[in-house]
Amino acid sequence: MNSNDTIRPSSGLSRRGFLAASAGAAFVAAAGDFPGTAQAAAPFVLPPLPFAENALEPVISARTIGFHYGKHHKAYVDNLNKLTAGTEYAGMALEKIITATAGQADKAGIFNNAAQVWNHTFYWKSLRPQGGGEPPPVLKQKIEASFGTLEACKKELANAAMTQFGSGWAWLVLDGGALKVVKTGNADVPLTKGMKPLLTIDVWEHAYYLDYQNRRADYVDALLNKLVNWDFAAQNLG
Ligand SMILES: [Fe+2]
C-alpha cells in the first residue's frame, strides 16, 4: 500500500491490547498500545487536552483549538453517548466499538462518532508545543529503514495530507513491522485494517480553516515542522 491508497473500514477485524477497567463514570483505561488515548466507557467523556488552548500558537490559534476541541470533539462525544445509550455499545471500549461497527451501513452513526472521538484524542497527542525536530533514535531508525530519510517520510505525510480529497486524516502507521503512510476519508481509521497508528494529521477543514483558510499545504507544513510529536509516535511503537 502506498501513500495514495485510501483505507476503507472493514468488519471482523479485532485489535489486541485494549483493556478497559471501569471505576465509575470517568475512568482511565489501560490501553497500553496508545499512550494517552484511553477512553472512558458509558458515558464516554471528552479527554482533557494535553496542552493549553493557546499552546500551539502561532501555528494553530487558540480560537481554532477552542472550536475544534471544545465544539467538534465534544460533539462527537455527546453524539456517541446519545447513539449508544441503552445499546450493547454503551459499556464497550472505544476501540472495540470502532472495529465492531466498521463497514456496517446500519451502524455508520455509531462508527463515525466513535472513530472521530478516538481520532481527535490521538491527534491532540500527535501535537505538542515546540514539536517537530528529530525523532527519538528508535523511531528515526525505523523511519530511515522504511522511507530512506526523515525528510522523505515527512514529504510522504504531507503528500497524503494534501491528496486526501475532502475531509479525512493522514497517518504514520506500523504495518507488519514496517512504517507506512496512509490516508483515510472522513472518520475512517487504520485500526480497522489491523494497522497500528503512530501519529495523525487532521485535514478536515475545521482543523485549519480559521487560521489558513484554503491553504491546507501551509497548515500541514507548519504542523510537520513545528508541532509534530515524534515522542508520542515513538511511544506507540510499543
Ligand atoms: Fe477534527
> What is the tens place of the pLDDT at every residue in 126-164?
999 999 999 999 999 999 999 999 999 999 999 999 999
Query: Which tens digits make up the pLDDT trace of 164-220?
Result: 999 999 999 999 999 999 999 999 999 999 999 999 999 999 999 999 999 999 999
Please choose, from the candidates 82, 169, 182, 63, the residue with its C-alpha nearest in 3D space to the C-alpha of residue 122: 169
pTM of the model: 0.84
Domain ranges of the chain: 7-125, 129-236
CATH class of 7-125: mainly alpha
Ligand 1 centre distance from Cα of residue 154 (Å): 20
In angstroms, the Cα distances linking 196 to 46, 67, 170 are 23, 28, 13
Please choose, from the candidates 199, 147, 153, 151, the residue with its C-alpha nearest in 3D space to the C-alpha of residue 173: 199
* From the candidate CATH numbers 3.20.20.70, 3.10.129.10, 3.40.50.2300, 3.55.40.20, the one assigned to the domain spanning 129-236: 3.55.40.20
Ligand 1 centre distance from Cα of residue 120 (Å): 6
Query: Which tens digits make up the pLDDT trace of 24-44?
Result: 222 233 333 455 455 544 599
Query: Which tens digits make up the pLDDT trace of 84-133?
Result: 999 999 979 999 999 999 999 999 999 999 999 999 999 999 999 999 99
- Residues, beta carbon < 5 Å, ion ligand 1: 202, 204, 207
